[in-house]
Homo-oligomer: A and B are copies of this chain.
Amino acid sequence: MTIYDIAKLAGVSASSVSRVINDKPGVNPETRRKIKALLEDNNYVPNDIARGLVTRNSRLVGILVPEAYSIHLMEGAYHITGRLSEVNYGTVIIKTGCTPSECAEGIRSIGERNVDAVVLMGSRYANEKVAGAIRQFMEKKPVFVLNGEITGPNVYSVISDESGGVCSCVNFLAGKGRRRIVYISDAMDRPSSFQKRQGFLRGARAAGICGEEDPESLIYEGRNNDIDSGEEIMERILQEHPDTNGLICATDMLACGAVRTLHRKGIRIPDRISVIGVDNSSFALACYPKLTSLNNMILESGDEIASKLIASLEGRKPGASKIMLLTEIVEREST
C-alpha cells in the first residue's frame, strides 16, 4: 500500500496524499478528510526507508555497547531507548568487541546503518582508535559518549566524577573510624577503572589511613568483575590483613562477592567491616545487607545524553560538549 495506491483510490495525485500524511497545508478540507479515511481503512503505514532516502534521516539512533557483560550499561542503553521512543526515535543497539580496534569497527558498522546519531556506552570507547573512526565514518553526525571522554567537533561527552566519588568513599569510611580501608579494583582495561583507582589513592592519602605504607598496597585486583571474583579476593584480603575494616569495591557485583565471603566467615557487616560498592545497581539491593553504593549516575548521564540528542536531532544546540556529573554516596545497610 503506497501513496500512489491511496491516491488512485481517492482520485487525487500522490502529492496530495503526501501532504495529508505530513499534515501540510494546501489541501481542501473535504479532500483531506476523504484521504484520511482511505489511509485509515487501508491501514497504510508510510515506508520510512523511502522517506529517509529523501529527507536524509532515518529517525534511528545507534547505540554501541561493549560485549563485556555489563548489565549496568545495558540498563543505561535501555533507559535512553525509552527516552527516544517517546519522541518516536528508534535505537539500533549493536554489540561490539572490547578492544580499541573492535570498538572502532563498531563505529564503521553503525555508520553503514545511516543512523542520525550515535551513542557510545562506557569509557571503553574513549580511545584514539575510536576517535579516528569517528573522524572517518561519523564526520557529520553527532556522537555522544556516556562516561567517557572523546574530543571532536561533533562529539559530546558526559562523564561522571567517579574518581572524586571513590575518593569521598574513602573519606566517608575514615569518618566512621575505619582505619584499614582496602580497594578491590575491576579489570584495568578501561579509563573508568583507572579513574576509580586514582580516586582511591587520592582518598587514602588524604585520609592519612596508610601512614608510611604505600597506598598502592591497599589495592587488590581480581581476575574478573564478577561475584566469584569478589569472593576470592576478599578471602585473600582477610588472610593477609584480618584487621581490614573498610572495603570499597569498584562494582556492586564485586562487593556482592566480597560480602559472601564475609558472611561465610561470620564477619558482621557493618559492625566489623563496612562495605561500599559502585554503580548503585540492583545488585546493591539484592545484597544482604543492602549495599551502600556510589551512584555513578549512569541513568542520569543517559538522560543528559537523551536531552542533548533530541535537541541536536531537532536542530537545536546540544549545549556544552563536555559535562561531568557529580556522584553521590547512597547510604544503605552496609556502612
Contacts and interface: CB of A to CB of B under 8 A. Distances in A.
Interface stretch (A9-17, A108-116, A154-162, A212-220): A108-116
A123 interface: no
Contacts of A85: 94-96
Contacts of A52: 49
Interface stretch (A166-174, A256-264, A308-316): A256-264
Given A78-B74, A111-B45, A114-B47, A288 B288 contact: yes
Interface stretch (A26-34, A144-152, A183-191, A278-286): A278-286
B137 A113 contact: no
B46 A112 contact: yes
Contact of A49 (B49, B81, B90, B282): B49
Interface in A69-111: 71, 74-75, 78, 81-82, 85, 88, 90-96, 108-111
A67 B227 CA distance: 28
Chain A interface size band reads 35 or more
Q: How many copies does the complex hold?
A: 2
A143 interface: no
Given A45-B112, A71-B282, A111-B45, A92 B287 contact: no
A74 B260 CA distance: 27
A81 B94 contact: yes
A82 B67 contact: yes
A82 B92 CA distance: 12
A48 interface: yes
List 10 A-B pairs, minimum CB-CB distance, nearest first: A286-B286, A90-B92, A256-B286, A49-B52, A82-B95, A283-B286, A85-B95, A49-B114, A45-B112, A45-B111
16 contacts: A43-B136, A45-B112, A48-B114, A49-B49, A49-B53, A60-B113, A71-B75, A74-B74, A81-B93, A88-B109, A90-B92, A90-B94, A93-B93, A227-B285, A263-B288, A286-B286
